[in-house]
A and B are shown apart, each in its own frame.
Chain A
Amino acid sequence: MKRPIEIGLLYSKEGSYAPLAQACRRGALQAIEDINVDSEFDIELIPVERDPKCNIDLYEPLCTEILRETSARHIVGCVISWSRKEVIPGLERAGGTLWYTLPYEGFEASDHVVYTHACPNQHLLPLLSWAFPRFGRRCYLTGSNYIWGWEMNRAARAVITDNGGEVLGERYLPIGDTDIDRMIAEIKATRPSFVLNSLIGESSYAFLRAYAAMGQEDPYFTSKTCPVLSCNLTECEIDSIGSAAEGLISVGPYFVGWESWPLGTRHDFASSFEASSYSAVRTLATLLNGKPGAENETLADLLHHSNAAQTLIDPETHHTTLPVLIAQIQDGVFQVLQSWEGIPADPYMTHPDRHPQDVQPKLSVIK
């Protein structure tokens, strides 16, 4: 007889970034289904869902509602960092835990959040170190006007200037805004060695379409000479972008076909968002498995049980040890160009030994 345990899901079904939320939701539901039929687990997870509709002001009330009206102490959810930061005070009051399953900008380690996707030493740093020797160090930065865009570009600027590079321009758009003409014009004028794109949703799609159109007119603005780099683009958005996504280079812990993560036997995820949410639920199930009453314990206590050793969560930072894959969209499919395995997270950039470096093969010249 399995112990029934309620688990909250806080993903938007409509709104600007709903496709990402739905990818995460599918991954979480798949994990719940797998755990519930798996005799290795003595628990049955019962999803309790709320839909914040991508409205920033609905996250905190709905998260609090789950914690107040149901027995769920663990919530898988939130897509953008802004919403995650909104729900943390409520989690702290109620002793709840959020499982956050998307890449983010780092510099956070809440006692009430588990981070199952990548932070900058697992996305931005390896991506830049890989791009510098291949394309150069003159960069143009784009971003959506909130914490992800601002912080990614601050970190990128620091890395670029520390490495003798140059930031030729930096421009932001409000979330959902598609007025990208000025960005495109500045890129055309400055001819950088690459563009780091931290726009999200429709802004990002509009930018990539306009950039692809510019590449038709001037072949310099194509992936061989001036690629667009991203730290958050996955398969789940390729359809929304269409052929303009071709050549884009992204970094993440999973691309279709990769099998080293998440733990477990399933590797057929549509993108790293499904994988990361699947991983979150499976990790939670691992922590609760065979421990009646554990569902009411704090996250800190759960991470100190022996079960925690079977997970990839660092009990100090609550972040996840992940593969780092750099991949390019070729004929509509991400092809992995470079990979590192088992990179622990370094959310505050204080552990240089956790920063994967690109080591290029040395060519010997035969005379």
Chain B
Amino acid sequence: MRPPLHIPDLSAAHAVILHRPHTLVQAIIRQLTAIGLNVSASWPELGPEVLGADFVFFDVDMGYDEQFPWAACNAPMPLIALIGSEAPGRIEWAIAQGSDAQLLKPVGDSGVYSALLIARQSFEARQRLQAEISDLRTRLSERQTVVQAVTLLAASGKCDADAYGHLRQLAMSRRETIEQAAQRVVARLASERGSNVYRDNS
């Protein structure tokens, strides 16, 4: 049995179109309005309200980096590229912005709804992956702390394996990561250094 597709709730969603006045803008506004979104269009500047938008459609043919109030690939919402000229340089630029979906010009009767769904899906997947990567990076950078904590715990007479098991138990009992437990152990034992006695108060 297929799992139900996650359809984003688009009620009261707001879309911004960054494109010079053109029939294409009218075609996109027509589709977005029929779907039920609020729409605004601007060119060449994006107003401050863009930060509250749920989707941004941007022109790839005439677009440039300085139009966006965020660093490339760091838009806080899904981006949809509006591609006319399929010149490799322009496509490269669209990719560099971090576009999540695209519409080819001319835009006719359809295409916007699938672009919204695909853009939202890939934006969310990217956000999830980025969060996971940054979490793993943090944990990776704490390797040294873990080694330090195991060494400190082993100093009370345990073997390395037991010391690590102890650390893991500390983490589990407080529902935190091994790295967080290691930080606490290191902070506490470092302050007790000198007495050479470790008492587990956790």
Which residues of A are in contact with B by a Cβ distance under 8 Å? 88, 92, 107-112, 154, 157-158, 161, 167, 170, 300, 316-318, 346-352
Contacts and interface: CB of A to CB of B under 8 A. Distances in A.
Interface in B1-36: 1, 4-5, 7, 9-13, 30-31, 33-36
23 contacts: A108-B110, A109-B31, A110-B109, A110-B110, A111-B109, A154-B4, A158-B4, A158-B7, A161-B4, A170-B1, A300-B30, A316-B33, A318-B34, A348-B34, A349-B7, A350-B9, A350-B11, A350-B13, A350-B35, A350-B36, A350-B37, A351-B36, A352-B11
The 3 closest A-B pairs by CB, nearest first: A350-B36, A109-B34, A350-B11
B64 interface: no
B108 interface: yes
Contact of A92 (B4, B5, B36, B109): B109
Contacts of B1: 167, 170
Contacts of A158: 4, 7
A112 B34 CA distance: 13
Q: Which of B11, B13, B30, B33 has the most CB of A within 10 A?
A: B11
Interface in B73-121: 108-110, 113
A109 B111 CA distance: 11
Contacts of A350: 9-13, 35-37
Contacts of A107: 113
Contacts of B108: 92
A112 B1 CA distance: 36
A344 B53 CA distance: 27
A110 B109 CA distance: 6
A300 B34 CA distance: 13
A154 B5 contact: yes
Contact of A112 (B5, B9, B109): B109
A8 B26 CA distance: 29
A195 B140 CA distance: 53
Contacts of B9: 350
Contacts of A352: 11
B36 A348 contact: yes
A348 B35 contact: yes
Contacts of B35: 109, 348, 350
A350 B108 CA distance: 22
Nearest to A157: B4
A88 B109 CA distance: 9
A126 B35 CA distance: 20
A140 B33 CA distance: 35
B4 A347 contact: no
Nearest to B1: A170
A348 B113 CA distance: 9
Given A317-B34, A350-B35, 8 more contacts: A88-B109, A88-B110, A110-B110, A158-B7, A316-B34, A318-B34, A350-B12, A350-B37
Given A157-B4, A161-B4, A316-B34, A348 B10 contact: yes
A167 B1 CA distance: 10
Nearest to A169: B1
B193 to A, nearest CB: 57
Contacts of B13: 350
